[in-house]
Structure 1
Amino acid sequence: NAGVKVNGIWAQDWSGIRMTSFGKRVMWNWKWNSENYPQLDSRIKQWNKEGVQFLAYINPYVASDKDLCEEAAKRGYLAKDVAGGDYLVEFGEFYGGVVDLTNPEAYAWFKEVIKKNMIELGCGGWMADFGEYLPTDTYLHNGISAEIMHNAWPALWAKCNYEALEETGKLGEILFFMRAGSTGSQKYSTMMWAGDQNVDWSLDDGLASVVPAALSLAMTGHGLHHSDIGGYTTLFEMKRSKELLLRWCDFSAFTPMMRTHEGNRPGDNWQFDG
Structure 2
Amino acid sequence: MTSKTIEIPVLKDELWWGGAIHDGIRMPYGTEDIEHDLRNLLENSGAPFLVSNRGRFIWHDRPFKFKFGSGTISIDSDNKAILREGQYHTLEEAFHEAAGEYFPALGRTPDPLAITAPQYCTWMEMHYEPTQRKTIDYAREIVRQGFPPGVLIIDDNWMEDYGTWSFHPARFPDPKQMVDELHDMGFKVMLWVCPYVSPDSRTGRMLAKQGYLVNDDRGKTALRRWWNGCSAVLDYTYPEAWTWFKDTLDELVELYGIDGFKFDAGDPAGDANSEWVTGFTWRGTNIPNEDCAAYSRLGLHYPLSEYRASWKMGGAPLMQRLRDKPHTWGQDGIRALIPNAIAQGLVGFAFNCPDMVGGGWDGDLGGTAFDPELFVRYAQCAALFPMMQFSTAPWKALDERMTSYCLDAVKLREQLGPELLALADEAGRRGTPILRALEFVFPGQGYESVKDQFMVGASILVAPVLEKGSVSREIRFPVGTWIGDDGSVVVGPSTIKVQAPLSRLPWYRRETLSI
Task: Establish whether TM, by shorter chain, passes 0.5.
Answer: yes
Matched-pair contact (CA < 8 Å) for 1:13–1:27: no
How far does residue 156 in structure 1 lie from its aligned partner after superposition?
1.0
8 Å Cα contact 2:268-2:289 kept in structure 1: no
Aligned position for 1:168: none
SS at match of 2:165: coil
Shift of 1:118: 4.6
Moved more, 192-201 or 30-39: 30-39
Query: Structure 1: how far apart are the matches of 2:176 and 2:206?
Result: 24
The CA distance in 2 between the partners of 1:118 and 1:200, in whole Å, is 37
Q: Which consecutive residues of structure 1, in runs of 5 or more, have no partner in the other structure? A: 18-25, 166-173, 263-269
* Distance apart, 1:124 and its partner CA: 1.8
In structure 2, the CA distance between the partners of 1:36 and 1:195, relative to structure 1 (3 Å rule), is: farther
Unaligned runs of 5+ in 2: 1-143, 270-276, 398-515
2:361 to 209, 233, 246: 233
2:280 alignment counterpart = 138
Counterpart of 1:127? 262
**What is residue 179 of structure 1 aligned with on the other side?**
308
Matched with 2:487 is none
1:209 pairs with 2:336? yes
Aligned residue number for residue 200 of structure 1? 328
Superimposed CA distance per residue, residues 128-148 of structure 1 (whole angstroms, 9 cap, x where no aligned partner):
112224235211223x43xx2
- Within 5 A, what are the aligned runs for 1:19-168? 29-92=164-227, 94-118=229-253, 120-134=255-269, 135=277, 137-142=279-284, 144-145=285-286, 148=287, 150-163=288-301, 165=302
Flag the structure with larger Rg: 2
SS at 1:126 equivalent: strand
Match of 1:11 in 2: 154
Aligned-residue offset at 1:192:
0.4
TM-score (norm 2): 0.44
Deviations 1:108-167 (A, max 9, x none): 11111111135542222221112224235211223x43xx2x31222211112324x3xx
8 Å CA contact retained: 1:10, 1:54: yes
Question: 2:349 maps to which residue?
Answer: 222
In 1, distance between residues paired with 2:374 and 2:171? 29
Higher relative contact order (Cα pairs below 8 Å, separated by 6+ residues): 2
Letter in 1 for 2:329: W
Shift of 1:93: 5.8
Distance, in Å, in 2 between the alignment partners of 1:257 and 1:232 is: 16
Shift of 1:189: 4.9
Higher strand share: 2
Aligned residue pair count:
244
Measured at CA, do residues 256 and 14 of structure 1 come closer, stay the same or move farther in structure 2, by a change above 3 Å?
Answer: farther
Structure 1 residue identity aligned to 2:280: T
Contact 1:230 1:260 (C-alpha < 8 Å) held by counterparts: yes
Q: Return the alpha-carbon distance in structure 1 between the equivalents of residues 390 and 236 of structure 2.
A: 30
CA RMSD of aligned residues (A): 2.6
- Structure-2 separation of matches of 1:118 and 1:95: 28
**In structure 2, the residue corresponding to 1:218 is in which secondary structure?**
helix
Equivalent position amino acid for 1:181 in 2 = S
Same amino acid, percent of matched pairs: 22
Contact 1:178 1:189 in 2 (8 A): no
